[in-house]
């Protein structure tokens, strides 16, 4: 079986969205599937991580098509000008208006500017001598799903659409989405999902929402396959650093934006510093990753609370920072749609076996953490409960009782190799459906 994996983000691009397609390409050959990848040649993205290239087979075919998007820094500046409410004169006003027009025009997302070259590259491939049995398209960005009708046009080519995130939640929380995306996105999604022979989702809740929104979907063709962990990402335990003895380290790794806002955590740190200042001085909170502009104001004065912002680090460094922590943190704010989500990072945290504090509303992530016994789960805006949990951990630490390794249960199912086997089974089913179509 030959499978073309389409993903706008692929190494050397970094970030959480890369892992699903990258690990699928790595482990599909174990299932008798020959993968190729189609991705963006000049992606307009905030971070790169060249260490991820170690998982890319140098013999694997990679098709890289260019996008018309500007560089990320320019795109971000234009978006910020366009989203400002204040009206300013001169050049700044013109830039702001241009940004607003761009937000309105680029539907369903800014990566629509990749489509001209991506459509051309896919058309050439479909007309070529080497036939792909399956075209697998993983979003976001969901403008990639516009490739599905073209892929479907070649007879007996199976099309699988993959939801790493929910389209409806993505268009309401992503930092660069315009209002038009919310209006047009639902209708566009309905049209494009019809082109799929099979659909995969990252959570059971995503699957249930899709089936509820689109009753025409055959439930037997919609499959929930979660994200996971890859043991190859972790060095032997003996090579990992131990947490420091003179302070208690709590570490978060990942992007902070509306969906993962640290509002409740930072409020809890202020409570802790106010009520138990001596205890609070033992705590160091490390933030690793990008902080989107909407969340930056929350961090004013946070250095006095023991918060250390480390910025974006490559994957190997992140693993070492997490391993050298007494406790790790998973965040999901209480916003619409969050009850159906669990961040991909949670699976890496469960394999690392550090005690995990999860701040999340009732729903998929909270249920996952409790089911596998990963650690405490607290509502993300309950500042008092968060502060009390940290105070209890700090008291034990001060008394010499350092946190022991966590012992999560029943996590083998999340090995990336096992998930590649699930995807291969979906591909086979989609091929059968394409043969009957």
Residue 197 shares a structural domain with residue 248: no
Residue 51 shares a structural domain with residue 146: yes
Query: How many helices (H) and strands (E) would you count in the chain?
Result: 15, 13
Average pLDDT over residues 177-196: 79
Render 172-191 in DSSP notation, one character per residue: HH-TT--HHHHHHHHHHHHH
Position 403 in a domain: no
pLDDT at site 402: 85
Residue 213 shares a structural domain with residue 158: yes
Average pLDDT over residues 128-133: 90
Q: Domain containing 87 — which CATH number?
A: 3.40.50.2000
Picking from 27-31, 108-112, 428-432, which range would have the lowest pLDDT averaged per residue? 108-112
Average pLDDT, the chain: 91
Residue 104 shares a structural domain with residue 194: yes
**pLDDT confidence tier of residue 373, bands split at 50, 70 and 90:** very high
Position 26 in a domain: yes
Residue 57 shares a structural domain with residue 167: yes
Average pLDDT over residues 309-316: 94
pLDDT at site 171: 64
136 or 180: which carries more pLDDT confidence? Answer: 136
Residue 39 shares a structural domain with residue 100: yes
Q: Are 282 and 394 in contact (CB under 8 A)?
A: yes
Question: SS3 for 257-310, per residue?
Answer: CHHHCCHHHHHHHHHHHHHCHHHHCCEEEEEECCECCCCHHHHCCHHHHCEEEE
Judge residue 11's burial from the number of C-beta atoms within 10 Å of its C-beta, 0-12 exposed, 13-18 middle, 19 or more buried: buried
CA angle (64, 102, 164) in 5-degree steps: 50
Picking from 26-40, 94-108, 326-340, 373-387, which range would have the lowest pLDDT averaged per residue? 94-108
Residue 189 shares a structural domain with residue 319: no
HSE of 406, CA atoms in CB hemisphere, 13 A: 25
Position 204 in a domain: yes
Please check the confidence at residue 62 and state whether its pLDDT lies above 50: yes
Position 408 in a domain: no
pLDDT at site 16: 83
Average pLDDT over residues 354-369: 96
Please report, rounded to a whole number, the percentage of residues in the chain having pLDDT higher than 90.
80
Please check the confidence at residue 94 and state whether its pLDDT lies above 70: no
| pTM score of the predicted model | 0.90
120 or 106: which carries more pLDDT confidence? Answer: 120
Please check the confidence at residue 91 and state whether its pLDDT lies above 70: no
As for how many domains the chain has, the answer is 2
Please check the confidence at residue 27 and state whether its pLDDT lies above 60: yes
Position 407 in a domain: no
Residue 164 shares a structural domain with residue 282: no
Position 283 in a domain: yes
pLDDT tens per residue, range 190-236: 999 999 999 999 999 999 999 999 999 999 999 999 999 999 999 98
Please check the confidence at residue 259 and state whether its pLDDT lies above 50: yes
Distances (CA, A) of 156 to 61, 224, 356: 22, 24, 46
Residue 220 shares a structural domain with residue 260: no
Please tell me the distance from the alpha carbon of residue 287 to that of residue 256, in angstroms, as a whole number. 9
Please check the confidence at residue 85 and state whether its pLDDT lies above 50: no
pLDDT at site 174: 57
Position 404 in a domain: no
Beta bridge partners of 13: 48
- 370 is in which domain, residue-wise? 233-398
Residue 325 shares a structural domain with residue 269: yes
Please check the confidence at residue 90 and state whether its pLDDT lies above 80: no
Distances (CA, A) of 188 to 142, 192, 303: 10, 6, 45
Q: Which structure tokens are listed for 189? A: 């999604």
Residue 287 shares a structural domain with residue 309: yes
Average pLDDT over residues 84-111: 60
Position 35 in a domain: yes
Residue 221 shares a structural domain with residue 281: no
């Amino acid at each position: 079986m030959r499978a073309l994996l389409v993903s706008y983000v692929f190494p050397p691009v970094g970030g959480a969205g890369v892992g699903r397609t990258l690990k699928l390409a790595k482990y599909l050959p174990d299932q008798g599937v020959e993968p190729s990848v189609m991705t963006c040649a000049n992606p307009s993205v905030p971070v790169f991580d060249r260490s991820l290239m170690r998982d890319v087979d140098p013999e694997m075919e990679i098709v890289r098509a260019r996008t018309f998007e500007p560089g990320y820094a320019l795109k971000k500046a234009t978006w910020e000008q366009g989203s400002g409410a204040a009206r300013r004169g001169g050049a700044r006003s013109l830039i702001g208006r241009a940004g607003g027009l761009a937000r309105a025009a680029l539907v369903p997302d800014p990566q629509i500017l990749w489509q001209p070259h991506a459509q051309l590259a896919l058309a050439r491939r479909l007309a070529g001598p080497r036939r792909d049995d399956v075209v697998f398209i993983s979003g976001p960005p969901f403008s990639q799903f516009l490739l599905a009708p073209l892929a479907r046009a070649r007879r007996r080519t199976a099309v699988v659409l993959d939801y790493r995130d929910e389209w409806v939640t993505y268009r309401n929380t992503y930092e660069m989405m315009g209002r038009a995306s919310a209006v047009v996105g639902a209708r566009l999604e309905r049209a494009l999902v019809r082109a799929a022979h099979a659909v995969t989702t990252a959570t059971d809740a995503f699957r249930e929402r899709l089936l509820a929104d689109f009753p025409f979907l055959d439930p037997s063709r919609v499959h929930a396959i979660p994200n996971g962990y890859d043991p190859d990402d972790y060095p032997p335990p003996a090579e990992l650093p131990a947490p420091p003895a003179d302070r208690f380290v709590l570490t978060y790794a990942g992007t902070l934006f509306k969906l993962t806002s640290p509002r409740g955590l930072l409020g809890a740190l202020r409570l802790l510093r106010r009520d138990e200042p001596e205890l609070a001085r033992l705590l160091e909170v490390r933030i690793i990753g990008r902080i989107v502009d909407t969340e930056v104001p929350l961090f004013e004065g946070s250095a006095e609370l023991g918060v250390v912002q480390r910025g974006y680090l490559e994957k190997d460094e992140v693993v070492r920072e997490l391993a050298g922590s007494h406790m790790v943190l998973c965040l999901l704010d209480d916003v619409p749609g969050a009850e159906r989500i669990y961040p991909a990072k949670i699976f890496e945290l469960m394999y690392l076996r550090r005690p995990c504090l999860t701040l999340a509303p009732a729903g998929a992530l909270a249920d996952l953490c409790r089911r596998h016994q990963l650690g405490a789960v607290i509502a993300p805006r309950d500042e008092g409960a968060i502060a009390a949990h940290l105070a209890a951990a700090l008291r034990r630490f001060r008394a010499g009782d350092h946190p022991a390794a966590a012992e999560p249960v029943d996590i083998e199912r999340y090995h990336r190799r096992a998930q590649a086997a699930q995807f291969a089974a979906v591909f086979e089913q989609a091929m059968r459906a394409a043969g009957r179509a």
